[in-house]
Amino acid sequence: MQPDNMLSPEKQTILIVDDSPENIKILNQILRDDYLITVATSGDAAISHIKTRLNDNSNNPPNTNTSQHLPDIILLDIMMPSMDGYEVCRQIKNNPKTSDIPVIFITAKDEVEDEEMGFKLGAVDYITKPISHPIVKARVKNHLLIKRQHDCLRNSISILHHKAEILQQKAELGMLAAGLAHDINNILFVAMMIENLQYLIPDDLQERSMIDEHIKRAIESLEMGRDICHGFTNYLKDIGEEEMVHNFPPLLKPLDMFQRTFKVKLIKEIPPNLPYIKCKGSQIKRLVLNIFMNACQAVEAKKNGRIIIRAWSENERLFFSINDNGDGIPDHILPHIFEEHYTTRKDGNGLGLAMVQKIVNSHNGTIDCSTAIGEGTTFTLSFPVV
């Protein structure tokens, strides 16, 4: 095995595999001016050569200029001792890392069945002896051109896939940030209750003015936080969180805090011994909270507003529903409630229920909405149990 030319990055490489020194000499004279030539004098040496190049490539950084790289094309004799050209071709084509290298058989055989065997094994062409200079040069040139075009196309596709992945990652990060902003906005809504403290402090308290000032600054900070959060989109990705087995009732704890804020009558029908579900806990909490907030907003104008939360198991699934006695959802609005940015509220962004549906889908769950004008709305969800 010996390279006959120094590396030139502009030239493509040819591996000649032949046990005849005379054939090697002829092929080298025909091709050496236009290509880099490497020679193997047996099938075993050819396979060893390719394995060495594969190992060297795996140890070198990408785009490193090195002579230890795979050939761009292989000129392969069929009749060789120990390992014939058919077996060499078979091993090359069975390896995903070398299967794209075009193989041209060069042999004295010209029977049709020999050509059929070569093409079945993956060879791209056949050249018979005695070797014709113009035919060798033309066929090598054509197949190397095809390979170069194929490589360019594959690289372009790889670049496009990479760009698509980057865009997807950016989109997911944007969704995560927006979802985080949405949840923080809900939390800040509750924190704004601090403004009611000023009405509970006696006027004659010595520190009243200082307390008022602190409350004022706290309210300004909270309002600023809500302004920053406003307008962000929200989605379901929680980077770093893994699915775990959860007992369902503890996932409803955030509702108690928001119940005090809205002063809504909350009825819970949560039986003991519910089956566990495998989920991302923070996502399920966000889901429950968003549906509950919608229910609270639906009954906020009612004197007798109430919300009923139920949970039960059936057919290897955990079911969960939130029912309100609000005005219901009109028929022309109902088909759009899970669409992104669709909202009927002046201060809404139409993202809460879109996020809910995506969380449900990511947990192999289901969600259904039933409503009646003047009677209220029920959202029913289900998740597979552990």
Mean pLDDT of 216-228: 63
Q: Are residues 191 and 267 in the same domain?
A: no
**Residue 100 is part of which domain span?**
2-131
Coarse DSSP helix, strand, coil percentages of the chain, rounded to the nearest 5 percent: 45, 20, 35
Most confident of 148-162, 190-204, 289-303: 289-303
- Asked whether residue 341 falls in the same domain as residue 266, the answer is yes
How many structural domains are present in the chain? Answer: 3
Region 90-94 average pLDDT: 91
Q: Decide if 100 is inside a domain.
A: yes
Domain presence at residue 149:
no
Residue 372 lies in a domain: yes
Segment 106-131 shows an average pLDDT of 77
For residue 374, pLDDT over 80 is answered with yes
Strand partners, 333: none
- Predicted pLDDT of residue 325: 93
Confidence tier at 212 by pLDDT (50, 70, 90): confident
Residue 312 lies in a domain: yes
Q: Is residue 237 in some structural domain?
A: no
Per-residue pLDDT of 28-61, as tens digits, reads 999 988 899 999 999 899 999 999 888 876 655 4
Together in a domain, 120 and 22: yes
pLDDT single digits (tens) 125-144: 888 888 888 888 998 898 88
Dist CA 184 CA 256 (whole Å) = 17
Of 121-125, 174-178, 234-238, 366-370, minimum mean pLDDT range: 234-238
Shared domain check, 287 and 212: no
Q: What does the pLDDT read at residue 73?
A: 93
Q: Which of 202, 229, 256 is the last residue of a domain?
A: 229
d(CA 153, CA 159): 10
The Cα–Cα gap between 267 and 307 comes to 6
The mean per-residue pLDDT over the stretch 210-234 comes to 60
- Which stretches within 32-67 are classed as H helix? 43-59
Confirm whether 144 is domain-assigned: no
Assess if residue 290 is contained within a domain: yes
Same domain, 26 and 126: yes
Please state which of the ranges 105-109, 203-207, 208-212, 298-302 shows the lowest mean pLDDT.
203-207
Q: Which of 189-193, 267-271, 289-293 has the lowest mean pLDDT?
A: 189-193
Q: How far apart are CA 26 and CA 131, in angstroms?
A: 8
Least confidently predicted of 37-46, 269-278, 346-355:
346-355
* Structural contact between residues 363 and 383, judged by C-beta atoms closer than 8 angstroms: yes
The CATH number linked to 361 is 3.30.565.10
Can you give the pLDDT at residue 350?
A: 55
List the one residue out of 372, 370, 343, 373 whose CA is nearest residue 355: 343
Once rounded to an integer, what is the mean pLDDT over residues 224-229? Answer: 56
Mean of per-residue pLDDT scores for the chain: 79
How far apart (Å, rounded) are the C-alpha atoms in residues 363 and 365? 5
Task: Looking at the structure, tell me whether residues 248 and 365 fall in a common domain.
Answer: yes
Residues 218 and 271 in one domain: no
Using DSSP bridges, classify how beta strands 265-269 and 306-314 pair: parallel, antiparallel or unpaired.
Answer: parallel
Q: What percent of the chain has pLDDT over 90?
A: 28
Same domain? 111 vs 175: no
**Which tokens in the block code for residue 28?**
């080298």
- pLDDT of 18 > 60? The answer is yes
Lowest mean pLDDT among 6-15, 185-194, 291-300: 185-194
Residues 315, 251 share a domain: yes
Mean pLDDT of 106-111: 69
Mean pLDDT to the nearest integer, 169-182: 63
Residues 353 and 260 in one domain: yes
Residue 67 reports pLDDT greater than 60: no
209 and 313 share one domain: no
Residue 206 in domain: yes
69: confidence class by pLDDT, cuts 50, 70, 90: confident
DSSP string, 206-265: TTHHHHHHHHHHHHHHHHHHHHHHTT-------TT---EEE-SGGGGTHHHHHHHHHT-E
Q: How confident is the model at residue 314 (pLDDT cuts 50, 70, 90)?
A: very high
Same-domain pairing of 197 and 313: no
| CATH number for position 94 | 3.40.50.2300
